[in-house]
Amino acid sequence: MSGVGRIFSLYRSILRAHRNLPGPMKELGGTYAREEFRTHLRSEKIQEKQWRTFVESWQSYVESLRGDAGKVVSGDLTEDVIEQLTPEQRQQLERLKDEAMRLKLELDASEFNQ
């Protein structure tokens, strides 16, 4: 399988793994993955090392989603990882954190109302 073929295969496995998530999280995850893959595939500035890191990170993500359903997985990033992020990636991380917190509040509220 070619490099691009492996990338699309990884993307499809992410979407399959998202099927098991609650509705809002599935939607957020699918949108985020689609935007990330689209951005990386269209970019002409990404180097081989960045591609490897991108693929390894998403593979790790899929493995964490496929893991034990009751297991809590930490999404904490080390200071070293945060320092390596570009300003755009840091902004995107902040937007993702904000959206995750909003979804958590929605899910908590819906569980409370049941």
Are the beta carbons of 10 and 59 closer than 8 angstroms? Answer: yes
Q: What is the pTM of this model?
A: 0.61
Domain match, 44 and 65 both = yes
Same domain flag for 2 and 46: yes
The reported pLDDT for the residue numbered 69 is 46
14 and 65 part of one domain: yes
26 plus 58 within the same structural domain = yes
Q: Are residues 90 and 52 in the same domain?
A: no
Distance CA 92, CA 101 (A): 14
Domains of the chain: total: 2
Q: What is the DSSP letter of 78?
A: P
What local confidence, expressed as pLDDT, does residue 73 receive? 53
- Which residues, at least 6 apart from 106, have a Cβ–Cβ distance to it below 8 Å? 24
Q: What is the SS3 assignment for 68?
A: coil
Taking the C-alpha atoms of residue 44 and residue 114, their distance in angstroms, rounded to an integer, is 49
Q: Are residues 56 and 89 in the same domain?
A: no
3-state SS class at 82: helix
Residue segments in the chain with a per-residue pLDDT below the cut of 70 = 1-2, 68-75, 111-114
Enclosing domain of residue 38: 1-69
